[in-house]
Structure 1
Amino acid sequence: MKQWILAPGADFSRLQEREVEQPQPGHGEVAVRVRATSLNYRDLITAENPKVENRVPLSDGAGEIAAVGKGVTGWNVGDRVCVNFFRDWQGGRFRNSYHDAALGGSVDGMLSEVVVFPAYSLVRIPDHFSFEEAATLPCAGLTAWCGLQRGHFVSGDTVLLQGTGGVSIWGLQIAVASGGRAIITSSSDAKLERAKKLGASDTINYKTTPDWEKEVWKLTNKQGVDHILEVGGPDTLGKSLASVSNGGSIAQIGVLTGFDAPNVSLFPIVAKNANINGIYVGDVESFDNFVRFLNVTKIQPIIDRVFPWEQTREAYDYMKSGAHFGKVVISV
Structure 2
Amino acid sequence: MKAATLKKPGGLDNIVIADRDQPEAGPGELLVKVAANSLNYHDYVVALGGIPTVDGRILMSDGAGEVVSVGEGVSGWSAGDHALSVFFPGWADGPGENEKRLGVPGDHADGFAAEYVAAPARAFTKAPKDYSFAEAATLPCAALTAWRALFVSTQTKPGDIVLVQGSGGVSIFALQFAKAAGATVIATSSSGEKLERLTALGADHVINYKEEADWGKAALQWTAGRGVDTVVEIGGPGTLTQSIHACRTGGHIGLIGVLTGLSGEVPTALFFQKNLVMTGITVGSQADQRDMIAAIDANGIKPVIDTHFPLDQVADAFQHQAAQKHFGKIVIDIPGDASG
TM tier, shorter chain? over 0.9
Aligned to 2:288: 286
Aligned to 1:317: 319
TM-score by length of structure 2 reads 0.95
Could you say what the CA RMSD is over the residues aligned between the two structures, in angstroms? Answer: 1.1
Once residues 238 and 10 of structure 2 are traced to their aligned partners in structure 1, the CA distance between those partners, rounded to angstroms, is 25
Once residues 134 and 186 of structure 2 are traced to their aligned partners in structure 1, the CA distance between those partners, rounded to angstroms, is 27
Aligned to 1:97: 99
Once residues 158 and 304 of structure 1 are traced to their aligned partners in structure 2, the CA distance between those partners, rounded to angstroms, is 27
Paired residue for 2:90, among 84, 88, 110?
Answer: 88
Aligned to 1:20: 20
Question: Contact 2:91 / 2:101 at 8 angstroms: preserved in 1?
Answer: no
**Residue 278 (structure 1) shift:** 0.8
**Residue 103 (structure 1) shift:** 1.5
**Residue 45 (structure 1) shift:** 1.1
Question: Contact 1:60 / 1:85 at 8 angstroms: preserved in 2?
Answer: yes
Aligned to 1:33: 33
Structure 2: unaligned runs, 5 residues or longer: 335-340
1:236 is paired with a residue whose SS is helix
Q: Which of 158-167 and 39-48 deviates more?
A: 39-48
Q: Deviations along 1:138-181, whole A, 9 cap, x unmatched? A: 00010000110111111111110010000000000111111111
Residue 234 (structure 2) pairs with residue 231 (structure 1): yes
Question: Contact 2:216 / 2:243 at 8 angstroms: preserved in 1?
Answer: yes
Once residues 215 and 123 of structure 1 are traced to their aligned partners in structure 2, the CA distance between those partners, rounded to angstroms, is 41
**Residue 9 (structure 1) shift:** 3.0
Please show how residues 1-332 of structure 1 align to structure 2 within 5 Å: 1-49=1-49, 51-52=52-53, 53-149=55-151, 150-259=153-262, 261-332=263-334
Once residues 197 and 39 of structure 1 are traced to their aligned partners in structure 2, the CA distance between those partners, rounded to angstroms, is 24
Once residues 78 and 258 of structure 1 are traced to their aligned partners in structure 2, the CA distance between those partners, rounded to angstroms, is 44
User: Aligned residues, how many?
Assistant: 331
Q: Which of 190-199 and 115-124 deviates more?
A: 115-124
Once residues 85 and 97 of structure 2 are traced to their aligned partners in structure 1, the CA distance between those partners, rounded to angstroms, is 19
Runs ≥4 residues deviating over 4 A: none
Question: Contact 2:66 / 2:83 at 8 angstroms: preserved in 1?
Answer: yes
Question: Contact 2:185 / 2:203 at 8 angstroms: preserved in 1?
Answer: yes
Once residues 223 and 292 of structure 2 are traced to their aligned partners in structure 1, the CA distance between those partners, rounded to angstroms, is 28
Paired residue type of 1:193: E
Question: Contact 1:6 / 1:56 at 8 angstroms: preserved in 2?
Answer: yes
**Residue 110 (structure 1) shift:** 0.9
Once residues 78 and 268 of structure 1 are traced to their aligned partners in structure 2, the CA distance between those partners, rounded to angstroms, is 54
Aligned to 2:337: none
Q: Percent identity?
A: 41
Q: Deviations along 1:92-111, whole A, 9 cap, x unmatched? A: 11111133211211111111
Q: Which of 265-274 and 104-113 deviates more?
A: 265-274
Q: Deviations along 1:247-288, whole A, 9 cap, x unmatched? A: 1110000011121x2212223232222211111000010100
TM-score by length of structure 1 reads 0.97
Paired residue type of 1:218: Q
Paired residue type of 1:168: S
**Residue 10 (structure 1) shift:** 3.4
Once residues 123 and 315 of structure 2 are traced to their aligned partners in structure 1, the CA distance between those partners, rounded to angstroms, is 28
1:328 is paired with a residue whose SS is strand
**Residue 208 (structure 1) shift:** 0.9
Question: Contact 2:113 / 2:311 at 8 angstroms: preserved in 1?
Answer: no
